[in-house]
Structure 1
Amino acid sequence: MPTVLLLGATSDISVAIAKEFGAHGYALQLAARNTEHLSPIQSDLKIRYNVDCTVHAFDALNYDSHQSFFDSLPVKPDVTICVFGVMYEEEDAWNDWKLTHRMIDTNYTGAVSILNIAAKYYSAQKKGTIVGISSVAGERGRQSKLIYGSAKAAFSAYLAGLRNKLFKDNVHVVSVKPGFVYTKMTEELPLPKPLTAQPEEVAKAVFNAVEKKKNTIYTKWMWKYIMLIIKNVPEPMFKKMNI
């Protein structure tokens, strides 16, 4: 039975991914800072899919604990999926360095810390898969996603470099750029329905990308072309735009 490790397992997207992999017979390792929130998720997954499902304490910002966390896993995962992240209001982050720092450290530094560890293990084993949930917000710097977007841009670049580094070791790295998703984090936002995915859509896209060894995926295909247009707006024009 293959095993998948979900880092940040309390989010709506992560729960949907766990269900998708559980439905395909994967054993599940759920990792999060607040493990008490994982108990009902664990119970539901065990009953629903009759698979092994374990809970593990993991703090993305406690970098010194990451190696011991990974070493303590009773079974090393075949697939490691980094789902955790945080997004504050950009204006709040602009005016509060603590929020800026936390967005950068959660969305980039913490992710790199734990994925470096998983990557070295997979490299030695000459097999394994890493999935990182990044964002279309990282494809071009914009004032509306100044801090969040820059952190996700760094994460996307890291995943691309990791994919290049680990290819020779038969380790696959998937970059996921979902676009808008209906979750608790976005429930207050007026999201455009045609461009917004359900967590279940993201989960199916992730599983398919792992199975078919895809490199970079967009949950809604339109985002690939939307971002292509945005990236190709000339800078003299782009800097005047309010986006």
Structure 2
Amino acid sequence: MAILVTRPQPDNARTTAALRDQGYVALSAPMLRFEKVLFSLDADADFGAVIVTSANALRGLADQPAASRLFRLPVFAVGDRTAQAAQDAGFRDVISAGGDAHDLRALLTARAQAVKPLLYLAGADLSRDLAAELGTRGFEVVTHTTYRMAPVADLPDDVTTAFAAGQIAAVLHYSRRSARAFFKAAGLAGVEISALAIPHLGLSDAVAKIAHDAGATKVMAAATPDEDALFAALARAIPPNAR
């Protein structure tokens, strides 16, 4: 029996590897696809620092000519992995908030009050309006989109076959958009009944609600929005002797 991972690449590969290290069989069905968005800056644009909340925003900068203008600026990153992605992209002065968007907002409030304006590199679909939140604290923030995550319409053939054969034990969902895409694809593939009958585990209550609203009856949410907590929920849902 396999655990199905629906998060996009390259995170999907890391998660499936981590599951296999824990003794699970893992299958991959990335339900969102990374797409770069053309990035450009006005000739007279002058920013004091860059904000990033996703490593994908930095992936979106790759090979874009305007990116080189930004590498001299300090970067405020939401967490350590995003900070490492900023360094790998070519930024030298990188400060990590070491947590989530709340931690980043607190860091900026403490460290960047005199740095204006800020350039927020973001995706096309934002779960929260960080620029507006910072605006209420006196910051001037300019948002530029560098990528989008497009829904994937079809399940991979091996996943469809595994559902038909009853070989998938649970599905892991990491975002509301990828969960919606999964249930739509399951319906198109004709495996919706099989998919709804097994446990669905969401990274948060909001993600788990998508599975519940789709008709899944065995739905759990991670206690905290991180992968360790999601794996802990999986261990409760799927006993070791059922792997």
Scaled to the shorter chain, the TM-score interval is 0.3 to 0.5
Give the TM-score, by structure 2 length. 0.36
Question: Which of 1 and 2 has greater Rg?
Answer: 2
> Which structure shows the higher helix fraction?
1
> Which structure shows the higher strand fraction?
2
Give the TM-score, by structure 1 length. 0.36
